[in-house]
């Protein structure tokens, strides 16, 4: 009996060891994936001013709730999302108590959409606007992990808890080097609120956006949450030139620069035959500007001939304006020319103008994306009559229609002949 039991015990021990050996890597992998998951903390102002009914005929609070519900539905599965409030609980006049009024409404972690929506539904505009304390607490909520971290602050007013300056709080967070970005959105903003929220965002490399409609709020928060799930790309600072001949040569990547009012920036990109150049630019107003503005992105040859352009106009409802273009470089029929790159000059021009009394230097920040990729295969090139492969499909449809018409006419005549015979 003893002799028979020992091998069995040995086998079970071996199986247990193998199972442990197999399970450990998968467990470690799961832990690593969780640690690298992007985190987003939505920080919502629930102060008394959110009762104002000036967003699409409803209160600011109602617009925020509607936007949050749509954002929660669209949040990517791999994003760890949380919600923090400021000014949601203390309705009194004691500033000391009011400036401590920030709470975690929904903890940062895997998203239970139903639970998060139920929590948002309970919010009622109540008290003060402790932006600085809320940002400090929101940064703590995001502690841990190696993935990207982002705070999205939605507010309709300035911080009411001085001397704790929220700009200084943002700079303090940035100085910790934890890779946390703060984006801010101002609901129906005034000048002072715009300045404060812009300062907070700029301190951490984030963005500021003015919002006056519910759909704008929904779209912008969705963009920021989606951006958190994208691979982190650090922009490269570059200095464009006044002329193409002096411009820096850029490869595929993300670049930042500043462009002064009434000036232009030039950059160069080398594009081989068979490649396609895709470029986009965003220019943001980090100070008060006049409401009508636009941005123009042009691709031209070194001799100044325009190849393609992209342009967009704004009316003061947003502080960021973007446009893009695509330029496919045809395959060369000459083997010697197949390795010769074409120099494409990219010109960025904007028509922002500074409001009265606003400093014009430094220039407005711009973000330029350059992507040089393999172009479409020759089989996808445009063919005869500009219809490409669709020409053959159109011919087949015409032929099929002709044959169907003949058959239908023959069947109709046959049925009439049979009816007359009967």
11-15, 207-211, 298-302, 312-316: lowest mean pLDDT where? 11-15
332-371 per-position pLDDT tens digit: 655 556 578 899 999 999 999 988 888 888 889 999 999 8
Tell me, yes or no, whether 290 and 221 share the same domain.
Answer: no
Q: Is residue 24 part of a domain?
A: no
Same domain, 206 and 280: no
Calpha distance 68→1 (Å, rounded) = 69
Question: 279 and 218, same structural domain?
Answer: no
Q: Which of 352, 376, 400 is the C-terminal boundary of a domain? A: 376
Q: Are residues 166 and 242 in the same domain?
A: no
Q: Which of 229, 249, 283 is the last residue of a domain?
A: 229
**Average pLDDT, stretch 309-313?**
88
Assigned domain for 4 exists: no
Which of the 8 DSSP states describes residue 274?
Answer: T
| Total of domains in the chain | 2
- Does 385 reside within a domain? no
Say yes or no: 249 and 325 in one domain: yes
Q: Which of 198, 229, 260 is the last residue of a domain?
A: 229
Residues 55 and 39 in one domain: yes
We report the CATH number of the domain holding residue 294 as 2.60.120.380
Same domain, 256 and 197: no
Q: DSSP string spanning 44-96? A: EE-SGGGG---BTTB-HHHHHHHHHHHHHHH--TT-EEEEEEESSS--SS-HH
Q: Which domain holds residue 272?
A: 236-376
Confidence category of residue 214, pLDDT binned at 50, 70, 90: very high
For residue 330, the model assigns a pLDDT of 66
Structure tokens at 181: 């970005």
Average pLDDT over residues 49-77: 94
- In percent, the amount of the chain with pLDDT more than 90 equals 47
Is residue 302 a part of any domain in this protein?
yes
Residue 153 and residue 257 in one domain:
no
Token pair recorded at residue 148: 């990207």
Give residue-wise pLDDT tens across range 273-285.
888 898 989 888 8
Residue 354 tokens read as: 């500074």
Q: 298 lies in a domain?
A: yes
């Amino acid at each position: 009996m003893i002799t028979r039991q020992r091998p069995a015990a040995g086998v079970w021990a071996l199986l247990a060891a193998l199972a442990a050996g197999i399970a450990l890597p998968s467990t470690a992998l799961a832990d690593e994936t969780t640690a690298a998951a992007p985190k987003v903390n939505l920080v919502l102002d629930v102060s008394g001013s959110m009762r104002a009914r000036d967003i699409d005929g409803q209160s600011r609070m109602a617009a925020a709730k509607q936007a949050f519900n749509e954002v929660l539905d669209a949040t990517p599965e791999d994003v760890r999302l949380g919600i923090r409030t400021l000014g949601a609980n203390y309705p009194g006049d004691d500033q000391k108590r009011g400036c401590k009024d920030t709470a975690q409404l929904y903890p940062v972690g895997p998203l239970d959409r139903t639970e998060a929506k139920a929590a948002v539904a309970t919010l009622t505009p109540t008290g003060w606007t402790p932006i600085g304390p809320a940002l400090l607490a929101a940064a703590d909520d995001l502690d841990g992990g190696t993935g990207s971290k982002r705070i999205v602050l939605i507010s309709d007013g300035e911080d009411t808890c001085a001397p704790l300056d929220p700009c200084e709080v943002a700079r303090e967070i940035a100085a910790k080097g934890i890779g946390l970005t703060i984006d801010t959105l101002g609901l129906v903003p005034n000048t002072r609120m715009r300045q404060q929220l812009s300062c907070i965002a700029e301190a951490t490399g984030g963005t500021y956006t003015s919002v006056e409609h519910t759909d704008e709020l929904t779209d912008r928060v969705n963009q920021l949450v989606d951006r958190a799930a994208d691979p982190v790309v650090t922009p490269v600072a570059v200095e464009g030139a006044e002329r193409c001949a002096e411009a820096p040569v850029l490869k595929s990547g993300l670049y930042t620069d500043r462009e002064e009012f009434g000036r232009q920036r030039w950059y160069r990109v080398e594009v081989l035959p068979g490649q396609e150049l895709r470029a986009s630019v965003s220019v943001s107003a980090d100070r008060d500007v006049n409401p009508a503005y636009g941005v123009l992105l042009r691709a031209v040859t070194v001799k100044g001939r325009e190849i393609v352009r992209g342009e967009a106009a704004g009316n003061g409802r947003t502080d960021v304006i973007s446009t893009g273009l695509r330029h496919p470089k045809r395959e060369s029929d000459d083997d010697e020319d197949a390795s010769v790159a074409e120099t494409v000059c990219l010109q960025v021009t904007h028509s922002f103008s500074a409001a009265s009394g606003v400093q014009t230097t430094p220039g407005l920040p711009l973000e330029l994306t350059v992507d040089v990729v393999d172009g479409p295969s020759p089989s996808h090139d445009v063919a005869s009559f500009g219809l490409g492969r669709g020409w053959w499909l159109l011919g087949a449809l015409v032929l099929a229609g002709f044959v169907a018409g003949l058959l239908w006419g023959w069947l109709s005549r046959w049925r009439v002949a049979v009816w007359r015979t009967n």
